Amino acid sequence: MDTDVIVVGAGPAGSTAAREIASRGARVLLLDRAKFPRDKPCGGGVTVRCAALLPFSIEPIVEDVVSAARLTVGEGREIVRTTKAPLTYMTQRRRLDAFLVERAQIDGVEFRDGQHVTEVLRLRDGTYTVTAGGETHRARVLIGADGANGIVGNRLGYDGITNGAVALEGNIRFPDGVPPRFRSQVSLHFGDMPGGYGWVFPKGDHVNVGVGGWRSVAGDRLRPALRALCLRYGLDPDSVEGLRGHTLPMQRPGMTIAAMGSAVIGDAAGLVDPLSGEGIYAALASGIAVAPAAHAYLDGSASSLAGYQAAVRRELMPEIEASTALMDIFHTAPGPFVWLMQHSGKFWEGACRLIRGETSYDALTYTLGPPMHAMLGPAAFAGRFITSKRLAKAGAK
Ligand SMILES: Cc1cc2nc3c(=O)[nH]c(=O)nc-3n(C[C@H](O)[C@H](O)[C@H](O)COP(=O)(O)OP(=O)(O)OC[C@H]3O[C@@H](n4cnc5c(N)ncnc54)[C@H](O)[C@@H]3O)c2cc1C
């Protein structure tokens, strides 16, 4: 056996799973097709609840800290809401992902970049082989952290995920510094793109602008919507650099995400939050949850990685289901929701507490009143407060 565990994909999910497994004493090989540092289509917003899942600070790669939101719906009035404590850390994916890989290497992970995995097999003895760059590696555990439509899930026969949403983003440079009107706040515009929103995120020397929405309706509308968004905020649409589009993968109900000695995590498991499009949180959370299950499989105390699937079902899915329910209502009529965010202190603070991980979707829906709370059904009631300790414990069961 070359190694105990192979992780394919070194995004936040893969590097976190690799680090968590290696820190339990196993040999881990982490492969990525890209040469690091590499960028990828992403707003680079790391919520406080997301950063709190890591056992170290991401401060060295944070370019701005957001504690305010500028909110608009359609042609409606713009309202700025602020809060005392930070909500989201702004970074660039090339920096975040390289930083997380470095931390994994410190904990003993062997990382190889520029390794495009082209073949994945499960052998008769239950081990796995992975071929990349003409070399074949063998391990007892294989984890697919290779994003939406990754090769691991595909070759091992996992259900496909749904690419239900799409987004388009790019950067506008400000070599002399980001204008004060964008600093330390996110600008969010609703109502133009069904199933999504437009954003301006502040970074060190640029702003990231993007629009997202349901794939079924977004199609040709993304580019004009991005132009309109830039003009709305007084930005030059022709100065957008590095324009890139990508899908946001969502789980199919009842989808299998672990079988025998293998599992899929992060985007490969379709764990993006449907309402916000936040995916780094679930990437880290699933990377943490898979580690104890892999460890139990390696030491013979579990016959598969099913503990990971159960942990996700118990800890993450209730939030994703509540978010889906809320999204269905929100995108039918975004106006009243944004109005609440703009005008109700209770609702705005509820949303802030959610982003900071101090509460669940449950609390947010409750502030909408008991009828709305009841309408969202059991999913809303099941939402929970998640911590890395809780995830690791759940994965070990
Ligand atoms: C436009 C856009 C904006 C977004 N903004 C945000 C945001 O601000 N905040 C947030 O939380 N989420 C955001 N998301 C979602 C977030 O980007 C993803 O959910 C997150 O990247 C998932 O991490 P991951 O590790 O699962 O997968 P990825 O980050 O996609 O990593 C997968 C890795 O696998 C590698 N790989 C793939 N195939 C192979 C192969 N065959 N061989 C070897 N390596 C392979 C890739 O090179 C890649 O490095 C956004 C998404 C989009 C599309």
The tokens for 72 are 């608009």
Give me the pLDDT at residue 260, please: 97
63-89+163-247: what fold? D-Amino Acid Oxidase; Chain A, domain 2 (3.30.9)
The pLDDT-based confidence of 368 (bands split at 50, 70, 90) is: low
Q: Is 40 in the pocket of ligand 1 (CB under 6 A)?
A: yes
Sign, Cα dihedral of 17, 18, 23, 25 = positive
Mean pLDDT for the chain overall: 89
CATH number of this structure's domain 5-56+92-161+251-318+388-396, picked from the four choices 3.40.50.720, 3.30.710.10, 3.40.830.10, 3.50.50.60? 3.50.50.60
Block residue for tokens 């490969």: 268
| pLDDT tens-digit readout, 114-132 | 999 999 999 999 999 999 9
- Give me the DSSP letters along 87-141: -EEE--HHHHHHHHHHHHHHTT-EEE-S--EEEEEE-TTS-EEEEETTEEEEESE
Give me the pLDDT at residue 378, please: 45
Please check the confidence at residue 18 and state whether its pLDDT lies above 80. Answer: yes
Q: Alpha-carbon distance 118 to 232, whole Å?
A: 44
Please check the confidence at residue 364 and state whether its pLDDT lies above 60. Answer: yes
Ligand 1 geometric centre to CA of 205 (Å): 23
Please check the confidence at residue 50 and state whether its pLDDT lies above 50. Answer: yes
Residue extent(s) of CATH 3.50.50.60 domains in the chain: 5-56+92-161+251-318+388-396
Among the listed ranges 51-55, 283-287, 351-355, which one has the minimum average pLDDT value?
Answer: 351-355
Q: Alpha-carbon distance 330 to 363, whole Å?
A: 16
Q: Is 31 in the pocket of ligand 1 (CB under 6 A)?
A: yes
The pLDDT-based confidence of 370 (bands split at 50, 70, 90) is: low
Please check the confidence at residue 344 and state whether its pLDDT lies above 60. Answer: yes
Q: Of 336 and 305, which is predicted with more confidence?
A: 305
Rounded mean pLDDT, 47-71: 97
Ligand 1 geometric centre to CA of 6 (Å): 18
Q: Alpha-carbon distance 170 to 42, whole Å?
A: 9
Block residue for tokens 């009143």: 369
Q: Is 277 in the pocket of ligand 1 (CB under 6 A)?
A: yes
Ligand 1 geometric centre to CA of 290 (Å): 18
Ligand 1 geometric centre to CA of 342 (Å): 31
Q: Is 384 in the pocket of ligand 1 (CB under 6 A)?
A: no
Reduced to 3 states (helix: H, G, I; strand: E, B; else coil), residue 198 is: strand
Give me the pLDDT at residue 232, please: 95
Give me the pLDDT at residue 384, please: 40
Q: Which of 25-39, 203-217, 382-396 has the highest mean pLDDT?
A: 25-39
| pLDDT tens-digit readout, 251-300 | 877 889 999 999 999 999 999 988 888 999 999 999 999 999 999 999 99
List, in order, residues 6 or more apart from 368 with CB less than 8 Å away. Answer: 340, 347
Block residue for tokens 């702003």: 207
Q: Of 6 and 395, which is predicted with more confidence?
A: 6
Q: Alpha-carbon distance 43 to 70, whole Å?
A: 16
The pLDDT-based confidence of 381 (bands split at 50, 70, 90) is: very low
Q: Alpha-carbon distance 239 to 241, whole Å?
A: 6
Best probe residue, ligand 1, of 19, 30, 33 (max atoms within 8 Å of C-beta):
33
Please check the confidence at residue 172 and state whether its pLDDT lies above 60. Answer: yes
Rounded mean pLDDT, 172-183: 95
- 197-202 and 206-214 as β-strands: parallel, antiparallel, unpaired? antiparallel
Q: Of 319 and 10, which is predicted with more confidence?
A: 10
Q: What percent of the chain lies above the pLDDT cut of 70?
A: 91
Q: 314 and 394 in contact (C-beta within 8 Å)? A: yes
Q: Is 196 in the pocket of ligand 1 (CB under 6 A)?
A: no
Q: Is 253 exposed, middle or buried (0-12, 13-18, 19+ CB in 10 A)?
A: exposed
Q: Of 145 and 214, which is predicted with more confidence?
A: 145
Q: Alpha-carbon distance 309 to 143, whole Å?
A: 13
Rounded mean pLDDT, 25-37: 98
Query: Which atom of ligand 1 is found nearest the CA of 244?
Result: 1
Among the listed ranges 103-117, 126-140, 161-175, which one has the minimum average pLDDT value?
Answer: 161-175
Residue extent(s) of CATH 3.30.9.10 domains in the chain: 63-89+163-247
Please check the confidence at residue 383 and state whether its pLDDT lies above 50. Answer: no
Please check the confidence at residue 315 and state whether its pLDDT lies above 50. Answer: yes
Q: Is 30 in the pocket of ligand 1 (CB under 6 A)?
A: no
The pLDDT-based confidence of 213 (bands split at 50, 70, 90) is: confident
The pLDDT-based confidence of 382 (bands split at 50, 70, 90) is: very low
